[in-house]
Structure 1
Amino acid sequence: MARRETALQTAQGQLRDLIGSEFRTGDKLPNERELADRLAVSRATVREVLGQLAAEGVLTRTWGVGTFVSEPAERVPVSIGDVTALRDRITASGHRPALQDATVSRAECPDDCAKILGLDVGSPVWRVDRLFAVDGVAAAWIRDHLPLRVGERELDPSGLVSIDLDMFEFLAGATGMPVRRAEIEFAAVLADEAAVGRLGVPIGHPLVSATQIGYNAEGLALFHGHITVRTDVLTLRITRGA
């Protein structure tokens, strides 16, 4: 299975390069046999890759007519240079945010966030799993972990299943300590089975993964999260002041 997925990813990358270098919006691609010869892969592989790119909106396929390069879809620019709700960043870009799915549950603290939150690995934490959509298209999958309490205050993040309450707003009200600084570390990844199920993209689809940590004014970590973003829907932008 791993070899097959690697072969598909390689073929998809080759076809993306070919489209980018030789074809423009509206151009018709060669037939499957010609593409298979050019990419040195089977027609079955070409057919599957064409289907993946069509699902992403890169190509348009019309039965009996052919496969054409699609008009590039508009991507929503989202600034990550300040501590602002994702909902508000999307709205500010003139688009409609929504929560397609959201759950809050108790879980065991994962290894990667235990040290950050000052907890033992496996100790109970809150897990907040949310799937954000932009104009009805799944765009960002966010998994946050929070301690059960901060100081003397017990946390109840159940309200985060609503688009009307953001993590930063929740923490400011629940702890009395607003998030003053957020650290985000990015990595380019390819969609695995979990991302396929949540974001509706084909296996191997290019994504951006980010780890985010939110701190209060005293440097106490209030949450640790993972964000997976479809960059064909959202464009992440960093703005720095002079």
Structure 2
Amino acid sequence: MARRETALQTAHGRLRELIGREFRSGDKLPNERELADRLEVSRATVREVLGQLAAEGMVTRTWGIGTFVHDGAERVPVSIGDVTALRDRITASGHRPTLQDAAVSRAKCPADCAKLFGLQPESEVWRVDRLFAVDGVAAAWIRDHLPLRFDGRDLDPSGLVSIDLDMFEFLATATGMPVRRAEIDLAAVLADEEATARLGVAAGHPLITGTQIGYGAGGAPLFHGHITVRTDVLTLRISRGEMAPQSVR
């Protein structure tokens, strides 16, 4: 395993060097077979390295068309090291956040969400679906689930259809308990049909997706959500320090 990881790292570095030396933004790369011959590695290794470079935002891959050097458009860095609204992180980077679409509805709770909240499978919960844009470009699609009631209080998240109210502000007011900790598991994926429709990207476009859970005092779960991010628009940054990494919302 260690030998394979070393080989991948070597191929990764050599391909990055090749792209930087011979190609410019917007150029189409040779196919996997040609790259494998030039790097003297297998096509499977090239495919895996290209997937890594796509997740890093260096290239974009479109199924049936090819792999292209990223066009160099500015990406907005947002930290996932603090429990801070995504809206505020985008603003702090000097860009304009907006909601291109937002909806609040009652829906059946997914199985993992029901387990978190201690509900029966398919119990009714609030679903908050929001599409964030950066300078008018769709950048992050967030779908959260919240219980209908918390500690005897009815929750009404209808205000979250406005950019002026973020999830953390809403929960602090509605439950009397601010989010103290958020955990997020991230994965690199390629855009499926639903993500294509929501984010306006081609099928197979590289994306980052995450499952996020927010907790209040004493570890009480407050929300369960999924976030899908266009890495060609937003750059996710983790800052390590004495505190455990938390998340952005």
**Category of TM-score, reference length = shorter chain:** 0.7 to 0.9
Separation in structure 2 between the aligned mates of residue 205 and residue 27 of structure 1, nearest angstrom: 15
- By how many angstroms is 1:20 displaced? 2.5
- Counterpart in the other structure of 1:124: 124
- By how many angstroms is 1:217 displaced? 1.4
- By how many angstroms is 1:24 displaced? 3.0
- Counterpart in the other structure of 1:194: 194
2:63–2:203 CA contact under 8 A, matched in 1: no
| Distance change >3 Å, CA 21–CA 165, structure 1 → 2 | same
| Distance change >3 Å, CA 21–CA 217, structure 1 → 2 | same
- What is the DSSP-based 3-state SS (H/G/I as helix, E as strand, rest coil) of the residue aligned with 2:19? helix
- Counterpart in the other structure of 2:19: 20
2:77–2:236 CA contact under 8 A, matched in 1: yes
Separation in structure 1 between the aligned mates of residue 153 and residue 180 of structure 2, nearest angstrom: 19
- What is the DSSP-based 3-state SS (H/G/I as helix, E as strand, rest coil) of the residue aligned with 1:105? strand
The AA in structure 1 aligned to 2:212 is Q
Structure 1 unaligned regions, length at least 5 = 1-15, 40-45, 59-69
The AA in structure 2 aligned to 1:235 is T
| Distance change >3 Å, CA 49–CA 18, structure 1 → 2 | farther
Separation in structure 2 between the aligned mates of residue 29 and residue 230 of structure 1, nearest angstrom: 20
Q: Does 1:182 align with 2:198?
A: no
Q: Does 1:90 align with 2:124?
A: no
1:191-220 C-alpha deviation (Å, 9 max, x unpaired): 000000000111111110100000001100
Structure 2 unaligned regions, length at least 5 = 1-14, 36-61, 243-249
- What is the DSSP-based 3-state SS (H/G/I as helix, E as strand, rest coil) of the residue aligned with 2:77? strand
- Counterpart in the other structure of 2:55: none
- Counterpart in the other structure of 2:209: 209
2:63–2:204 CA contact under 8 A, matched in 1: no
| Distance change >3 Å, CA 218–CA 124, structure 1 → 2 | same
2:117–2:221 CA contact under 8 A, matched in 1: yes
| Distance change >3 Å, CA 113–CA 47, structure 1 → 2 | closer
- Percent sequence identity over aligned pairs: 69
Separation in structure 1 between the aligned mates of residue 31 and residue 189 of structure 2, nearest angstrom: 26
Separation in structure 2 between the aligned mates of residue 151 and residue 38 of structure 1, nearest angstrom: 61
- By how many angstroms is 1:99 displaced? 0.3
Q: CA RMSD in A?
A: 2.7
The AA in structure 1 aligned to 2:81 is G
Moved over 6 A (4+): 16-19, 34-37
| Distance change >3 Å, CA 18–CA 214, structure 1 → 2 | same
